[in-house]
Amino acid sequence: MYNIFPHLGFLLRANKGLLQNRDEFHAYIQATFVEHLKTLDKNDQRSFIDAFLVKQQEEKSTTNGYFHNGNLLSLVSNLFTAGVETISTTLNWSFLLMLKYPEIQRKVQEEIEKVIGSNPPRIEHRAKMPYTDAVIHEIQRFANILPLDLPHETAADVTFKGYFIPKGTYIIPLLTSVLQDKSQWEKPDMFYPEHFLDSNGKFVKKDAFMPFSAGRRICAGETLAKMELFLFFTSLLQRFTFHPPPGVSVSDLDLSPAISFNVIPKPYRMCAVIRS
Ligand code: HEM
């Protein structure tokens, strides 16, 4: 509602909480900059913030620079929100799907035992784990956490498939239209890891796998996100088996999403049982 009618924002109570949270979050990030600045060493840059602050000091003499505090705040808060919410939402879906499909969970655990054993998972293991890789890809395809992508704007007049789209048009690219395209997926509405496996059990890439969008503004964290998902998912399934709580059967588990900015599962309870 707020996106569509920003001028009515003052009427929306939820908006107040949102802005308050944003201010608190920004204050936290700004306090972090102050801490970094106190111990900044040009020859020992510890982080993205340090690298930015060094650039800022180099640029001090210019007036119209990019490396000002407002940009640092936007960059760090964008990276933080884009990186945290997406990964936690995808993991949230992954647990629910493992509860719903215990057979699939068991097959992932078998592959973990075979390839990783009890060692800490490393990213190099992924290439030897086609089934787990396929399951993680299918979690992302099925969860479809950003079905409307992020909004874009045409930078020039465009004619696309016979439609004229003038410069400055607000565009919502529907990732759902590819992630659930009937011509691309055998079972578009089902959780089916075989979408990413050939008949020999080898992992196959799919052009229609686009949860990170496409083109020049594709998710800046795609590689990092894929690493994080693999490491978190395998570490957790190496140590735990996830079950529905006593009294809840697999058929009771609801895969329909809750209403939110991104697509999250409805709240659910689960038991994490340590594997011996
Ligand atoms: C499951 C994980 C993730 C998914 C599904 C995801 C998805 C997306 C999507 C769909 C976009 C919009 C692309 C567009 O404008 O068309 C995006 C943008 C972005 N993502 Fe991610 N993302 C994930 C994780 C991350 C992580 C871990 C980071 C970094 C820490 C990150 C940083 C960004 C940034 C900075 C942008 C804006 C890029 C730009 O506008 O040029 N994302 N992401």
Residues 62 and 80 in one domain: no
Percent of the chain scored above 70 by pLDDT? 95
Return the pLDDT at 18: 79
Residues 111 and 33 in one domain: no
Return the pLDDT at 246: 95
Of 67, 92, 119, which closes a domain? 67
Of 46, 67, 88, which closes a domain? 67
Q: Which of 79, 84, 89, 212 to mutate to test the pocket of ligand 1 (most atoms within 8 A of CB)?
A: 212
Residues 62 and 180 in one domain: no
Residues 162 and 50 in one domain: no
Of 67, 85, 111, which closes a domain? 67
224 ligand 1 Cβ < 6 A: yes
- The residue whose CA has the least distance to atom 30 of ligand 1 is 83
40 ligand 1 Cβ < 6 A: no
- The residue whose CA has the least distance to atom 42 of ligand 1 is 221
State the distance from the centre of ligand 1 to the C-alpha of 82, rounded, in angstroms.
6
Return the pLDDT at 60: 76
Return the pLDDT at 16: 77
Residues 128 and 139 in one domain: yes
210 ligand 1 Cβ < 6 A: no
Greater confidence (111 vs 57) lies with 111
Residues 40 and 127 in one domain: no
83 ligand 1 Cβ < 6 A: yes
Residue 239: which CATH number? 1.10.630.10
Q: Which of 219, 231, 262, 263 to mutate to test the pocket of ligand 1 (most atoms within 8 A of CB)?
A: 219
Q: Which atom, in ligand 1's list, is nearest to the CA of 84? A: 27
Residues 2 and 116 in one domain: no
Number of structural domains, the chain?
Answer: 2
Residues 12 and 103 in one domain: no
> Which pLDDT tens digit goes with each residue over 196-232?
999 999 999 999 999 999 999 999 999 999 999 999 9
Return the pLDDT at 169: 96
Residues 189 and 257 in one domain: yes
Query: C-alpha angle 270/196/250, rounded to 5°?
Result: 25
89 ligand 1 Cβ < 6 A: no
pLDDT higher than 70, residue 61: no
Return the pLDDT at 14: 62
pLDDT higher than 70, residue 63: no
- The residue whose CA has the least distance to atom 27 of ligand 1 is 83
Computed over every residue of the chain, the mean pLDDT equals 93
pLDDT confidence tier of residue 72, bands split at 50, 70 and 90: very high
Residues 235 and 107 in one domain: yes
d(CA 164, CA 273): 56
Residues 145 and 247 in one domain: yes
76 ligand 1 Cβ < 6 A: no
Q: Which residue range(s) make up the domain with 21? A: 1-67
- The residue whose CA has the least distance to atom 23 of ligand 1 is 86
pLDDT confidence tier of residue 62, bands split at 50, 70 and 90: low
pLDDT confidence tier of residue 59, bands split at 50, 70 and 90: confident
Return the pLDDT at 259: 80
> Which pLDDT tens digit goes with each residue over 75-90?
999 999 999 999 999 9
Residues 63 and 93 in one domain: no
Return the pLDDT at 91: 98
